[in-house]
Amino acid sequence: MSIAQTTFYLIRHGEIDANVDRRWHGSTDSDLNENGRKQAEQMAIHVASKHPEIAAVYHSHLQRTRDTAIPLARRLNLKAEAEAGLQEYAVGQLEDLFIEELITKHSFFEELAADQDFAPDGGESPKEVCARMIGALTRLAERHSGEAIAIVGHGAAMGIALAHLLENRVFPFHDYHMENTGYSRLIWSSEPRLDIFNACGHLPGEEDSTREGKPLSLGSLARFSPTPPNSAS
C-alpha cells in the first residue's frame, strides 16, 4: 500500500538589514527592508503562478517570515498561519553579532563542528533546532497528507532540517543555504528528497534550478564554509 506524501515548498524570508550587514538574527525579531518587501512580492507572483497546487501557507512567529508569507497566501486565496517550531536558530548572548565576530572572536562554528550539542548561553544547539524543526514538519505533514504546502522560514533552521533529513547530520548546514526568498521543494515520504533547491527565478538575474534527490552545488560553499553567507536569519 502506498503512503501519501506531503510536498513542502520551503521558502526563506525576504531580506532584512541584518542580512545586508551580515549579523546573526535568530530570535531577534526584524522587519523586512525595502528590498525584502519587493522580494516577497516577486516570490509570491512567481510561486503562486508556477505552483498553484499549494493548499496552505505557514510561517514562524517572527515578523520577517509573516510579512513574506502574506503576499503568497493572498495570491493563493489562503490565510498565512503561524506554526510553532519554525523559528530561526537562536544563539542567545551571541544574537546580533557580525558573522565575522562569531568566527574570529567566539569560534562559534568551530564549537559547532566539535559538538552539535553546544549551545551559547541563552541559545540553542543544532540538535535542539533540528528536533523542533522536524517536529513541526512532522505535524504539518500529518495535517496535510497528500497535499502541497508552503513553509516560510529561516536560513539556518531550514538548513539544519534539510541536512538531517537528507544526510542524517545537523552540522555543517551551510551547503543547504538558500537566498532570501529562494525556495526549495521537499518531498516528504519514507525517503525524503529535494527536487528543487534554492530556486530564485523571480529575482533579477537569477534562474530556477532543479536536481533530483540532492542539493545543487553552491559554488564556493564547501561542507564547512568559515564564512557562511547570511546563513542565519
pLDDT for residue 45 = 97
**pTM attached to this predicted model:** 0.90
Question: What's the pLDDT at 163?
Answer: 97
pLDDT of residue 210: 52
pLDDT at residue 152, rounded to an integer: 98
Domain ranges of the chain: 6-147+167-199
CATH code of domain 6-147+167-199: 3.40.50.1240
Q: Residue 168 burial by CB count (10 A; 0-12/13-18/19+): exposed, middle or buried?
A: exposed
Q: How many CB atoms lie within 10 A of CB 192?
A: 18
Give the pLDDT score at 204.
Answer: 85
Q: Mean pLDDT in runs of 10 for the chain (233 residues)?
A: 81 98 97 98 97 98 98 98 97 98 97 98 98 98 97 98 97 95 96 94 75 38 40 68
Q: Is 51 exposed, middle or buried (CB count within 10 Å of its CB: 0-12, 13-18, 19+)?
A: middle
Between the two ends of the chain, the Cα-to-Cα distance in Å is: 41
The pLDDT value given to residue 219: 33
What pLDDT score was predicted for residue 3?
60
Per-residue confidence (pLDDT) for residue 4, from 0 to 100: 78
CA gap 30, 64 in Å, rounded: 6
What pLDDT does residue 140 have? 98
Q: Grid coordinates representing 117?
A: 550539542
Residue 161, SS3 per DSSP: helix
